Structure 1
Amino acid sequence: MPEELEESLQSLINRAVVYSDPGISLETAVIDLPVPQPADGEVLVRLYYSGVCHTDVPFCLNALPGLRVPTPKGQIGGHEGVGVVVAHGPGVTSPLIGSRVGIKYAADACLTCDNCIEDAEASCLNIKVSGYFTPGTFQQYCIATARYVTPIPDNLDLAAAAPLMCGGVTIYTALRKAGLRPGDCVAVFGAGGGLGHLRIQYAKAMGGRVIALDVGSKKDFCLSQAADEFIDITQFGVNEDLATKVKSLSNGGVRISLQCTSSSRAYAQAFSSLCFRGTLVCIGVPQNPVSFAPNIAAIVGQELRIISAKTGNRVDVKECLNLAARGFIKCHYQIRKMSELTNVFKEMQAGLIEGRAILDLDGM
């Protein structure tokens, strides 16, 4: 990095949002930090927006299953950042200065371990997770591995690209892994939420027919996202009643049930709604995992599949963004201030946010 550029960056302030008491509360604080300097193989990205993902909440609360050690106090969270490359570390020539890039859940992966070789970079054995011990995207200036940032198409709105770095690519990857074919019927549970409306749109863009399921107040929103049918889940009692309704709207059951919520009951409903050789895609972690016990006889007799999707790899993100750049995906979002992150977390937990929340990193 040229000496004059380094001196210029050192004169700037990096405003960031940190977790004040991880594992104890959702409290966050906006602080000023020095602008970090990129090392070998790294770039410095001036971030302008960061999506707020539901996974950020359990990171803050130390409630995400599989966490090796607790999230440290003062951690900069976030893993849906978008911005512009402003400096190169030694040896870096690409991406070019001024390039629009995104930073994902996997801040870096080794690309050589068995998991990476199988295209499971988000499960890399040497992964660096953005917002968990690796400084995340709730900050104005973020260090990233040059070979691992994601190029963002020029014709894609930068703010709208932020939620696609995790929420969007997770849905796209889930549908691809489930083998969605044109004309397949897809049940979207929790369709009116931040991930839900992206599930509807990606399923439609990939040729699916969508049945959206949520509370009645979200009917108009789900239909505005091009859902073919809507079911008010509050109108049904036992699991089989709702499954019967889904099957009546889908000629015997859906090919794919996307389950992104943490409701164990919703998992049972999603499973019961499948047709022959249907696939339940597990994305959300149930509140009580042992309470969902799939019917093995049904799995064998109907040749059903249960798969999972954590997030996507570099190719998945590229394809996910290209669909949005071509106009097939319109992310519904609301811009919030950095100082509002605690309130955003609380609103997310209460189910009060329609679409996705995005932090504007240009100010408080």
Structure 2
Amino acid sequence: MASVQVPSRHKAVVYDNPGTVSTKVVEIDTPKPGVGEVLINLTHSGCCHSDFGVMTNAWSTLPFPTQKDQVGGHEGVGKIVALGPGTENSGLKTGDRVGIKWVASACGICVPCLEGADANCISVKISGYYTPGTFQQYALAPAHYVTPIPDGVPSDVAAPLMCGGITVFSALSKSGAKPGDWVVIPGSGGGLGHLALQIGARGMGFRMIGIDMGEKETLSRDCGAEVFIDLSRYSRDDEGTNKLVDDVKAATGGLGAAAVVVCTASNAAYAQALRFLKFRGTLVCVGVPEGSPVPIATANPGTLLTQELRIVGSAVGNRKDAIDTMAMAARGILKTHFELQPMDKLTEVFERMQQGKLQGRVVLDLSG
């Protein structure tokens, strides 16, 4: 393929005042790929709740506050425009469409990497957190870690799958649920939840229960929720929680669900989740609560022993999970529900995210 003209500078969106909901479009120098790297002309980037957590310093699990003028984002898709030295045997070429994930790079040789837990790599680099992210028009990435995008999967559809899709695919795989089992998705109408419903119902054969606010019922059912429970109909006290638990169990025939995959950052969702489970059920922790998390209700040895329950943590998936997720998208099993927004609307997007007004995902069009 003929060489591509790469500009010396390009547009990026940065967190100009970390700790607050604030972003700014700036121009920055376009880097050149180093050894083992490729340069990607990104056309689209998903906007994830994790970006919100990084921008606002809301996650106590991160070791350092976010730096000023950090280029955020971690769900980018575009075309390779330049390859650095040492990429000759990578199988990549200019013009290939690839994606950048939450994990920008993992070493591949530490114990977590050898176990397939890339996000727990001792040398992990995170896109959009002390590594330039995907809210920009050109980005570097290690050739060994980009994800090929199949033909037939549009870039705007593919972008949110680079984190959201991979994350819930991995979580559902760890749930222990079998085809025909009931699986509950708190946060079913959100960026993670609507993807989890599709993968669970259409890709893995689970019977899905969505839990969210009433305005997200249509999206949840369209994505595969056999049962939808409207949170707005329940009070926030013990009586309301007891009624919610009773209704979830009634939907499953009285036994409870085989798994609950919490796809929201809500502390309340975690406080309720164990009570939705049947004997030997599994709670999969995915959403990261902001501030000080509350203890998971009834997570005491007696309850865990008598019901033989499991609590499993699941960070984002690995490279194999990414390929499997994209294969589902290529087969038409999985499709992102999203709205497209320009780069200069990112602050507004985050404000709507904070207010819980988003359904599905927002994807940034990086062409402007």
Distance 1:126 1:220 in 2: 42
TM superposition score normalised by structure 1: 0.95
1:313 alignment counterpart? 318
Residue 267 of structure 1, CA deviation: 1.3
SS state of the match for residue 229, structure 2?
strand
Letter of the 1:181 partner, please give it.
K
Q: Which residue of 1 aligns with 2:249?
A: 247
| 2:209 aligned residue | 211
Matches within 5 A, 1:96-135: 96-135=93-132
Q: CA deviation at 1:335?
A: 0.3
- Deviation, 1:340, is 0.6
5+ residue gaps, structure 2, are none
- Is residue 266 of structure 1 aligned with residue 274 of structure 2? no
Please report how far the alpha carbon of residue 290 of structure 1 lies from its aligned counterpart in structure 2 after TM superposition: 3.5
Contact 1:180 1:206 in 2 (8 A): no
SS at match of 1:334: strand
Q: Deviations over 1:289-317 (max 9, x none)?
A: 24434243221111110001110000011
CA deviation map 1:95-139 (0-9, x unaligned): 111111000011111111111111111111001111011100000
Query: 1:266-295 CA distances to partner (integer Å, 9 max, x unpaired)?
Result: 112221010011001111133432443424
Q: Which moved more, 1:323-332 or 1:25-34?
A: 25-34
Shift of the 226–290 alpha-carbon distance from structure 1 to 2, 3 Å rule, reads closer
**Residue 82 (structure 2) aligns with:** 87
Work out the CA distance in 2 between the residues paired with 1:95 and 1:164.
21
The percentage of aligned residue pairs carrying the same residue is 47
Q: 1:92 offset after TM fit, Å?
A: 1.2
SS in 2 for 1:134: coil
Matched residue type, 2:17: D
**Structure 1 residues 37 and 5: CA distance shift in structure 2, 3 A:** farther
Per-residue Cα deviation, 1:203-227 (whole angstroms, up to 9, x for no partner): 1121000111112222222112221
SS of the equivalent of 1:258 reads: strand
Shift of 1:240: 2.2
Pairing of 1:133-144 with structure 2 (within 5 A) = 133-144=130-141
Partner of 1:283: 286
Q: Tell me the residue number matched to 1:151.
A: 148
SS of equivalent residue, structure 2 residue 70: coil
2:274 corresponds to which letter in structure 1? F
Shift of 1:163: 0.5
Number of aligned positions between the proteins:
358
Decide whether the 8 Å contact of 1:240 with 1:272 is kept in 2. Answer: no
> Could you say which residue in structure 2 is the equivalent of 1:50?
45
Partner of 2:71: 76
TM-score normalized by the length of structure 2: 0.94
- TM-aligned CA distance change 1:196 to 1:37, over 3 Å: same
Paired letter, 1:269: Q
* Amino acid aligned to 1:13: R
> Match for residue 296 of structure 2?
292
Asked if 1:179 corresponds to 2:176, the answer is yes
The Cα of 1:5 is off from its aligned counterpart by: 5.3
In structure 1, runs of 5+ residues without a counterpart are none
For residues 142-190 of structure 1, what are the alpha-carbon distances to aligned partners after superposition, in whole Å with 9 as ceiling and x for unaligned?
0000111111111211111100000111000000011231101011111
> Secondary structure of 1:170's match?
helix
Q: Distance in 2 between matches of 1:286 and 1:101?
A: 31
Query: Greater shift after overlay, 94-103 or 228-237?
Result: 228-237
